[in-house]
Amino acid sequence: MSGALAGQTALVTGGSRGIGFAISQVLAQDGARVAIVDIDEKGAVTAAARLEGDGHAGYFCDVGDPGQCRATVAAVTRAQGIVTILVNNAGITRDSLLVRMKDEDWDAVIRVNLTGAFNMTRAACRGMMKRRSGSIVNISSVIGLMGNAGQTNYGASKAGLVGLTKSVAREFAKRGVRCNAIAPGYIATDMTAGLDERTTGELGSRIPMGRLGEPSDVADVARFLAGPEARYVTGQVLAVDGGMAM
Ligand code: NDP
């Protein structure tokens, strides 16, 4: 397939729905072979089959498990080629006020959102460095920049991703591998679908642009950071939030 990303293999975690699927779609449209990696195996396989072009595939992987991440990157490399674009998008929430937060809710969110990105980056980086070419895009959140009552676990995991992004960017820069983060604001996906109308209205009023974002708003920025137009951009955190966190 032709396009700016032709010949590249993109691995997108949590890619079977929401923001991850929208990112998978734009990368496929630009010619990348996409590996959709998700804890929902059927969802990953079905989503990969819906992408434009050929050579895409879906894989089961719990990003919190380092062994599964290594095995998945090896399987993707065998079937689809060396991963040169990695999008660490898989994420979960387990919200509650800090005084009531259970140990398992803290651990689960850090494990998936932060350790998951570390696991995948470590598993995929050797191939990128060997190629002296790669782009890693971590999906953080404005909550990691601004904080939010009731989301101490989520906010810490997303702030941790900012530190991970900048450290990886510095460590890999001379090897031709870039690493950036996107901090989305409130985006209309399953993750935010549970919010009632009043909360959505209140949120909308706190967003200067006056509306929740769409997955495609984030996907277009991920496509930019992953692709050649961002060739001199590394270690950056780009808020995609309608002006919420400026
Ligand atoms: P969704 O909940 O819609 O999708 C998340 C995907 O990640 C699901 O497919 C889910 O699988 C998968 N996933 C969950 N745990 C794991 C795991 N351990 N290993 C692999 N895959 C896993 O989320 P969004 O699309 O809304 O969010 C995507 C990213 O964007 C997240 O990191 C989120 O924190 C971030 N974000 C979202 C915002 C929003 O407003 N929506 C705002 C800011 C950031 P399954 O379907 O089986 O659960």
**Is the C-beta atom of 141 inside 6 A of ligand 1?**
yes
- Distance (angstroms) between ligand 1 centre and the Cα of 66 equals 18
Q: What are phi and psi of 237, to 5 degrees?
A: -120, 115
Burial category of 182 from C-beta neighbours within 10 Å (exposed 0-12, middle 13-18, buried 19 and up): buried
> What is the per-residue pLDDT for 135?
98
Question: Is 51 in a helix, a strand, or coil?
Answer: coil
The string of DSSP codes covering 81-123 is: --EEEEEE---------GGG--HHHHHHHIIIIIIHHHHHHHH
Q: What is the pLDDT of residue 203?
A: 76
- In contact, 51 and 25? CB cutoff 8 Å: yes
Helix (H, G, I), strand (E, B) or coil at 74: helix
Question: Does the CB atom of residue 31 touch ligand 1 within 6 A?
Answer: no
Cβ–ligand 1 contact at 194 (below 6 Å): no
- Cα distances (angstroms) measured from residue 21 to each of 96, 149, 189, 199: 27, 28, 11, 25
* 154 has catalytic annotation: yes
Tens digit of pLDDT per residue, the chain (246 long)? 679 999 999 999 999 999 999 999 999 999 999 999 999 999 999 999 999 999 999 999 999 999 999 999 999 999 999 999 999 999 999 999 999 999 999 999 999 999 999 999 999 999 999 999 999 999 999 999 999 999 999 999 999 999 999 999 999 999 999 999 999 999 999 888 877 777 777 778 889 999 999 999 999 999 999 999 999 999 999 999 999 999
Query: Tokens in use for 26?
Result: 């734009």
Atom 34, ligand 1: residue with shortest CA distance: 91
